[in-house]
Amino acid sequence: MKCRHCGSSVQQPFVDLGFAPPSNAYLTNAQLSHAETYFPLRVRVCEHCWLVQTEDYTQADELFNEDYAYFSSTSLGWLEHARQYTSQVTQRFSLDSNSLVVEIASNDGYLLRNFVDAGIPCLGIEPTKSTAEAARKLNIPVLTEFFGAALADILLKNNQQADLLIGNNVYAHVPDINDFTLGLKRLLKPTGTITLEFPHLLQLIRNGQFDTIYHEHFSYFSLSTVISIFSQVGLRVWDVEQISTHGGSLRIYGCHMQDMRPNTARVAEIIDQEHHAGLNQVSSYQAFQKKANNIKDNFLIFLLEQKKLGKSVIAYGAAAKGNTLLNYAGVKSDLLPMVCDAAPSKQDKYLPGSHIPIVSPDILYSEFPDYLLILPWNLSEEVMSQYSFLKSKGTQFVVALPELKII
């Protein structure tokens, strides 16, 4: 296996989560009688550039097809995150009607809708037809394409360079990270800004967040590695923020190498944090498998104990991270009879691998489980607030990561 960034031989294991189907490949009732495709879910780390990456088994167009069921606007917290970001960058970079904002992986328009409302020209690039069509209904122009250097060249010929180039939780989804980053370079105006958000590898390791590993993610990033990837194509990370989304993410600010903006002190601070955490040492990666196994074992023990006691457990959130957890633990509907999800695109379908039925959250207004297991633990505060009435019915909330906790 060759590193996706530097081309070095990659042999050092990080974690082996067995075999699993693609995490967003939800099944219809008719599909339950057909064979399901599984891929190995193994991750390694490059000892040269320290890029953490999955083994190659799937192609992006197999994962992000027209039936793709993830709609960003389902989460009210994520919509608010996008609104605050829009307000911040509009002011910081003086965006107006003469600017162009381009978002890669614009999904259903959860973010660009804010720029449309502000009268700032924008363009979405989104390969999945279902979410792209939802964005177009909000008057957002969308190209239904995968992004890379070739598409950037086409846009460049059409005089569509970006003042602000956005990629929220897309960088990890890219098989060819060098080509994608080269596309960022070519699409960015000489004085433009790139912002990317992605889960921080440092937090993933510290908190045992193995459930953020699934086939749609090809890479897991430290800031140091992203700086190396950017530098190779002539880009520079000049600022960075630590944000709370997805259990601890980074928002980086990039520019052309020759841009006059100086690096902020925050860049050096986070690089220093990563160095002290040992992200450039093999030993820091070797202990992760044991941590993942302990979390999985404690989760299984909880479900088995509740079954023996006759207690009811319902899950909330048919999220990709939940599917990683359930499939690695081997959980089926005998231990977890259903999962609620607010996205209509997922309801009346079944989770991949576990085949647990997905139902509307409306069921929580008539059935009051002993425990509501929140699979997207990063949204636990939002879920508990939305369904706080369950507490008066005797329901307790549960999360499995970073450790099993009954709330």
pLDDT at residue 48 tops 70: yes
State the average pLDDT over residues 180-187.
98
The CATH T-level fold of domain 146-285 is Rossmann fold (3.40.50)
Given pLDDT bands bounded at 50, 70 and 90, which one contains residue 299? very high
3-state secondary structure of 272: helix
Residue reference for tokens 């009607």: 97
Q: What is the mean pLDDT of the chain?
A: 94
345 has pLDDT over 90: no
Please say whether the beta carbons of 135 and 111 come within 8 A: no
Q: What region does 105 belong to: left with phi over 0, alpha with psi -120 to 50, or beta?
A: left
- Euclidean distance between CA atoms 210 and 289, whole angstroms: 9
What CATH number has the domain spanning 288-406?
3.40.50.720
pLDDT of residue 70: 65
146-285 and 288-406 in the same fold: yes
pTM: 0.91
Residue owning tokens 């440092």? 202
- Whole-angstrom distance, CA of residue 336 vs CA of residue 351: 11
CB 153 within 8 A of CB 159: no
The 3-state DSSP composition of the chain as helix, strand, coil percent (nearest 5) reads: 40, 25, 40
Residue whose pair of structure tokens reads 């950017």 in the numeric block: 230
Contacts of 92 (CB under 8 A, 6+ apart): none
Residue 195 has pLDDT above 70, yes or no: yes
The CA–CA distances, whole Å, from 37 to 34, 162, 363 equal 10, 39, 31
Residue spans per domain, the chain: 146-285, 288-406
How many percent of the chain have pLDDT more than 90? Answer: 89
pLDDT in tens, 51-85: 999 987 555 455 554 454 467 777 788 899 999 99
Give the pLDDT confidence score for residue 58 in this predicted structure: 52
20: tokens are 């699993």
Average pLDDT over residues 297-314: 98
pLDDT in tens, 90-100: 999 999 999 99
